A and B are shown apart, each in its own frame.
Chain A
Amino acid sequence: MTLSHRLTRRSLIAAGLTCAFRPLAGAERTADGFRIPQAGGELAFPAVHGSHPDHRIEWWYLTGHLFAGGRRFGMQAIFFRLAQRPVLDDANAAFGDSQLYLAHFAVTDVAGGRFLHEERLNRQGWDAGARVGDLELWNGNWSLKRLSGLGSLEDHGSMRLMGGVRSEAAVDLVLETAKPAVRFGRDGVSRKGDEPAAVSLYVTFPRLKARGLLRIDGRDLEVTGSLWMDHEVSSSQLGREQVGWDWVSVQFDDGRELMAYVLRKPDGSPDQHSTLAWIETDGRVAHRYAGEFEWEPGGIWESPETGGRYPIRPRFGSIDPTSGKERRFSLRPVMEAQEMTGGLGGVAYWEGACDVLDEAGGEVGRAYLELTGYTGDDLQKRLRGD
């Protein structure tokens, strides 16, 4: 689960593209005709990695850590697809209007203390799109494309990510699967709210080995590193009683991963659909639902730009499925100022690279933390604006 949900809403509103969110109970489609992900559905490969234009909302969400010699970087590349109608009937038009494509790119330069970011919105057409049937996305000069493999969740494969931030930074990375892909949720769907339609198909590559070039400060750096990629498809993710969420992806040094999201209710308490998931070295997933894990916000950082107050140093804990023991972790951001200030989308959020510390304070992995809904009631207003 990511903040993209809100951004989606924001973007829809920004573009004035309001739509009804009332699904029909138990239906396969929403009232306005978008498909609802169904439990237990079979997946087709590599089509599942490509675009699903009969669903309203879809995103490919890459975050991770890159290293060049002693230098460390965080990076984030997000491709959204926002359908305006349930059919892609203008696939060949240069200036279509069935889909909008929003994208974000960010690079955290730890040594330089800089957080570079850019966002853009394009329409279905000559300069932005997402292929149906295979993984190929493009938005201006940013792109993500499957190179090989990925015939199943377990299949090994590779893809290429190109992009950058204005003329300040550029990346060209080959990503190789270091572990099988996983599918979160019960029966293959991830539920985000009580409404029947508030479910998503949530497929993740928890560990992608990255290799390639990062150009920054006018110099090309050979980088290696490790990325996390979410791909989530839905037609309505909005829980009515949710004001924001905290989300984290952790890659432990021992080869395991952890993903958690906490959906916050107006009184600050976690929603029952909040989830934590352990991913074993062999790719098996152990889910922990609300009540089965702890999440403790902490370490407020106040944004000088938006005034948002973000708890950027949360602590969380859960029973380790391997050892059966209670484990507790804390996050330590590599930099405080990793806020997407939302010039185009209009909604700000914090998304940044962190180190993961265990109870003893030792580094046990790296994480990406996402914090949304912290810039006052702006987000709520927009959410209820329709």
Chain B
Amino acid sequence: MNGSPAEARWLVLLLRQTTWRHWRRRLGSTLLLVGILAHGVGVFLSIRLASRAAVSGFSLFTESLTGESDFLIRPVSGDSLPEMSAREVRQRLGALPVAILPVVEATAVEVAQTLDAAEPGPLRLLGADLVALRNAAGDSVPEVSGDVGLGRDDQAFVSPDLASRHGLSAGSVFDLSINERRVSLRVAGVLRNDPLRPAVPPHLLLMDLPGLQQLVGRPEKLSRLEIRVADGIDAERWRREARRILTSAASDQGWRVETPEDRREAVAKMSRAFRLNLTVLSTLALLVGVYLIFQALEAAVVRRRSEMAILRSLGVGAGTIRRLWLLESTVLGILGGGLGVWIGWAAAQVTVGGVARTVNSLYHDTATRSAALHPTEAIFGLGFGILASLAAGWLPARDAAETPPAQMLRSGSRARGLAWLARPGWGVVVGLVAFAISWLPPWRNGAGDGLPVAGYASAFLWLAALSMMAGLLFRPLSRWLVGMGDRYSSLVVAGSQLRRPTGRHRLAVAGLVAATGMSAGMGVLVHSFEGTLTGWIGQMLRADLYVAPAAANQAGAGSVLPAAVWRSLAADSDVAGVDTIRRLPVEYGGRTIRLAGSDYHEDAARVMQMRWIEAPEPGRTPQALRAVADGADPPAWINEAMSRRFGLGRGDAITVPTPAGEKTLSILGVYADYSDEGGTVLTKLDRVTEWFGDDGVSNLAAYLKPGVNAEVVRARWQVALPAASIRENARLRADALRVFRETFAVTYSLEAIGVAVAVIGLGLALASLLVERRDELATLKSIGFTRGQIASAAAVEGAVLAAMGLVAGLILSLVLGDLLIRVINRQSFGWTLDYRVPVGLFIGLSLITLLTSATVSAWVGARSARLKGDRSE
């Protein structure tokens, strides 16, 4: 019979005549089921799409005009190449048919009313040779002349998106702030979208290269060179040749030669740990979806038990029944997965903003504002939905297939559940294993990225362990309940059920353990993070005013406060002193880190107030250092991420490239830094200024003289620097925490989902239990039990199950929190956090779970009390 055409016919017959009709009759529950699955798939997919978009959002803007380059040449340190690099590259490549496209990039901020002030997003200024660009891009690049665009620092071509949003057309004038300078640009023209090329990025302004150099005050500097080998039969050969030549010249020239693919990978790598964490979290959303579907399918099996029995007595085999249920799961999976893909795409449009903001603030520039539904992701989401649904349907299908024919069916026959859950003692063993493997080191790839594989494995083992151990509570709790029964007969009834728990009871508790454990565990992580961060911010942010260039909330963007600007602020009569810091990207160990310069080293008292992972030795105070002869290696501190990623610590030396040659720094200490997970080397500002030949700074913190009103000074400065971000201490603290909360916003929604799932799952489980016990209920009614008493017995049973799940779940959350903080975050981000238990959250979570569980259980009990003794519907 297996797999025979006859069986296929039966499956169709059974699907049509039984399953389908049940679905139609209980349309609400069916839709709920599909909805739950769709939600799981949707959350999972949206986070994947959003993080994918946030990463792929990093693309070279020029690609939209010229298509993809074969290579990029970027500086190995700092953010600019000298102009003559272009000629150098041409000379080295000789007669190879290669287009070399120099590019300057800058950011600007929209100001004034011409542009929509409500959403002052950063604008990307792209400077390219508008004459040469036409050789590669043809008519998608506008024609220029001396009057229109060519060499002009007061004209720009704007993206169609920008033009339509702000009603710009050729000749319009609009205001921008660039490097704290307000400038007016005239629209030279509107870029056109060519259907055959990538769309023009929405925030793009295109200028002739020398014009932009002049505008941003970086004469003779380039951001990068894009290299494209001409098409043709020899293209591959010339590409190899060009790569060989450029690579061999790279170290002499201070170049980094990359393919766009290298670049994308590097960028993706930077934020991989962050995205992995998001993915794991989103997988949890799918898992709780699986749990709910499992409960719902179990409930359906129980409801349709007698139908299965009749089918069996009519000669339908067990295998057919099992396949029927698996088929039902698959169909649910397709429906839920399909809907989920759509929901995921829609949600990703919302999520992507948050993820992009986080990725921006932590890692790199991304221009992404929308997430595309990649076909492979859609298939992935759908496949995941089907798999999840099949996994959820596995046990119910087994239960259904084990239904005996109607002759043998006894009312009250019960599902087996998962055998291992019935062995709580083994939970202790699993827990010990979980504890042991949490101490394994992270798996590291070549670039030093840690993946806390063991940490995640340990988390899942702990979940299993505590789900099993929760079973230890059945006996004492039931004994206590029955003991209380002298006064309340409902308690006896409830307690007697728990005295001999069924597989379903154990599964319900396990589900609660998982859901509450996850929710509360996330709470522990977020609370610890927040506590640590608040403390750190308090230590770090002591100045009165903080000044950053416009559009500086993007990591790595080359915007600086020019020397003239920050020196004038430092010289303000209300200012007692300033701290400045300059950050520049440099290549180290195959990835981009930040070399920073500050004058913090100068003040011993403040140095020791910093949060240290490895504090400088007392003897190596700044005063002592200043006495070190000029020939010695300059001092540096590194942040924790740098230390963990590259295995560096106090006493080590580190050599970094600079435009002034390679510099070796001696590491004095490792400090905590929750603003960067890529790695930062912090040294003296004067050295950085000297090496990079640039005396701008990335931020300035001003300490005001006593009695000066910070708000007054802020307002005064803001008038002078309209686009700069000037924040008072309290405001900056609030902003920092807001960024943090946005980053973790997704975890809050997961917490809410966790509680909802726990309660709905419990309700479904209890409903199934009561259906299975309908004969008992009939008996209870016949001996005078009221509907109310049945409801209260169910409420007690549900509440006790919830309490068991909560106890084990909260223990699980403490363990998960520890894993997240001690293992996973440290290994993947390189951040040490203080462990803090969110007591309030625990109490709130417990109360909500217990109350809603009891309420839902009572409602289920009251409904079940109406069941007739032996009819299934």
Interface residues in chain A, defined as those with a beta carbon under 8 Å from any beta carbon in chain B = 14-17, 84, 93-95, 97, 100, 118, 120-123, 125-127, 140-143, 162-170, 172, 215, 217-218, 343-344
Knowing A94-B84, A120-B135, the reply to whether A218 touches B234 (Cβ < 8 A) is yes
A169→B232 CA distance, assembly (Å) = 8
Chain A residues near B148 (CB, 8 Å)? 16
A97→B130 CA distance, assembly (Å) = 11
Interface string of B132-147 (1 = CB under 8 A from A): 1011001000011111
Chain B residues near A215 (CB, 8 Å)? 234
Chain A residues near B98 (CB, 8 Å)? 141
Interface string of B208-221 (1 = CB under 8 A from A): 11100000000010
- Taking each of A123, A143, A344, which has the highest tally of chain B beta carbons within 10 Å of its own beta carbon? A123
| B87 interface hit (Cβ, 8 Å) | yes
Interface hit among B89-97, B349-357, B415-423, B857-865: B89-97
**Which 8 A-B pairs rank lowest in CB-CB distance, beginning with the nearest?**
A16-B145, A167-B232, A166-B230, A168-B232, A95-B210, A167-B235, A167-B234, A166-B232
Chain A residues near B229 (CB, 8 Å)? 167
CB distance from A141 to the nearest CB of B (A): 5
Chain A residues near B210 (CB, 8 Å)? 93-95
A210→B831 CA distance, assembly (Å) = 69
Look across to chain B and name the residue whose beta carbon is closest to the beta carbon of A116: B232
Whether B233 lies near A123 (C-beta < 8 A) is no
A303→B99 CA distance, assembly (Å) = 30
Whether B95 lies near A123 (C-beta < 8 A) is no
Interface residues of B in 53-103 (CB under 8 A from A): 83-84, 86-87, 90, 93-100, 102
Interface residues of B in 458-480 (CB under 8 A from A): none
- B143 contacts which of A15, A122, A125 (Cβ < 8 Å)? A15
CB distance from B217 to the nearest CB of A (A): 16
Knowing A126-B84, A167-B238, A168-B232, the reply to whether A16 touches B147 (Cβ < 8 A) is yes
Whether B146 lies near A167 (C-beta < 8 A) is no
A16→B131 CA distance, assembly (Å) = 12
A84→B151 CA distance, assembly (Å) = 13
Look across to chain A and name the residue whose beta carbon is closest to the beta carbon of B211: A95
- B230 contacts which of A15, A123, A143, A167 (Cβ < 8 Å)? A167
- A141 contacts which of B97, B231, B235 (Cβ < 8 Å)? B97
Chain B residues near A126 (CB, 8 Å)? 83-84, 86-87, 90, 102
Whether B231 lies near A95 (C-beta < 8 A) is no
Whether B95 lies near A170 (C-beta < 8 A) is yes
| B129 interface hit (Cβ, 8 Å) | yes
A181→B786 CA distance, assembly (Å) = 121
Given A126-B86, A143-B95, 15 more pairs with CB closer than 8 A: A14-B143, A121-B134, A123-B131, A123-B132, A125-B129, A127-B132, A141-B97, A162-B95, A164-B95, A167-B229, A167-B233, A168-B234, A217-B233, A344-B134, A344-B135
Chain A residues near B296 (CB, 8 Å)? none
Whether A127 lies near B83 (C-beta < 8 A) is no
Chain A residues near B146 (CB, 8 Å)? 16-17, 84, 97
| B150 interface hit (Cβ, 8 Å) | yes
A218→B96 CA distance, assembly (Å) = 14
Chain B residues near A141 (CB, 8 Å)? 90, 93-98
A121→B130 CA distance, assembly (Å) = 10
Whether B233 lies near A218 (C-beta < 8 A) is yes
Chain B residues near A143 (CB, 8 Å)? 95
CB distance from A107 to the nearest CB of B (A): 12
Chain A residues near B100 (CB, 8 Å)? 127
Whether B95 lies near A121 (C-beta < 8 A) is no
Chain A residues near B87 (CB, 8 Å)? 94, 126-127
Chain A residues near B84 (CB, 8 Å)? 94, 126
A-B contact list, 22 entries, CB within 8 Å: A15-B145, A15-B150, A16-B145, A16-B146, A84-B146, A94-B84, A95-B129, A95-B209, A122-B131, A122-B135, A126-B84, A140-B99, A141-B96, A162-B94, A165-B232, A167-B232, A168-B232, A168-B233, A169-B232, A170-B234, A218-B237, A344-B134
- A17 contacts which of B129, B132, B145 (Cβ < 8 Å)? B145
CB distance from A137 to the nearest CB of B (A): 14
Look across to chain B and name the residue whose beta carbon is closest to the beta carbon of A169: B232
A170→B284 CA distance, assembly (Å) = 59
Chain A residues near B232 (CB, 8 Å)? 165-169
Chain B residues near A100 (CB, 8 Å)? 131
Whether B97 lies near A167 (C-beta < 8 A) is yes
- Taking each of A127, A164, A168, which has the highest tally of chain B beta carbons within 10 Å of its own beta carbon? A127
Look across to chain B and name the residue whose beta carbon is closest to the beta carbon of A95: B210
Look across to chain A and name the residue whose beta carbon is closest to the beta carbon of B127: A95
CB distance from B224 to the nearest CB of A (A): 15
Chain A residues near B138 (CB, 8 Å)? 343-344
A118→B135 CA distance, assembly (Å) = 10
Whether A16 lies near B95 (C-beta < 8 A) is no
- Taking each of B96, B129, B148, which has the highest tally of chain A beta carbons within 10 Å of its own beta carbon? B129
Look across to chain B and name the residue whose beta carbon is closest to the beta carbon of A217: B233
Chain B residues near A121 (CB, 8 Å)? 131-132, 134-135
CB distance from A175 to the nearest CB of B (A): 15
Chain A residues near B238 (CB, 8 Å)? 167
Whether A163 lies near B95 (C-beta < 8 A) is yes
Chain A residues near B132 (CB, 8 Å)? 121-123, 127
A72→B129 CA distance, assembly (Å) = 38
Chain B residues near A97 (CB, 8 Å)? 146, 150-151
CB distance from A126 to the nearest CB of B (A): 4
Interface residues of B in 228-270 (CB under 8 A from A): 229-235, 237-238
Look across to chain A and name the residue whose beta carbon is closest to the beta carbon of B129: A95
A169→B98 CA distance, assembly (Å) = 13
CB distance from A379 to the nearest CB of B (A): 18
CB distance from B369 to the nearest CB of A (A): 32
Knowing A16-B143, A126-B87, the reply to whether A95 touches B97 (Cβ < 8 A) is no
CB distance from B211 to the nearest CB of A (A): 9
Chain B residues near A217 (CB, 8 Å)? 233
CB distance from B636 to the nearest CB of A (A): 36
Whether A95 lies near B134 (C-beta < 8 A) is no
A143→B145 CA distance, assembly (Å) = 26
Whether A16 lies near B209 (C-beta < 8 A) is no
Whether B96 lies near A166 (C-beta < 8 A) is no
A317→B235 CA distance, assembly (Å) = 46
Chain A residues near B143 (CB, 8 Å)? 14-16
Chain A residues near B97 (CB, 8 Å)? 141, 164, 166-167, 170
A16→B142 CA distance, assembly (Å) = 11
A343→B151 CA distance, assembly (Å) = 24
CB distance from A333 to the nearest CB of B (A): 25
Whether B220 lies near A94 (C-beta < 8 A) is yes
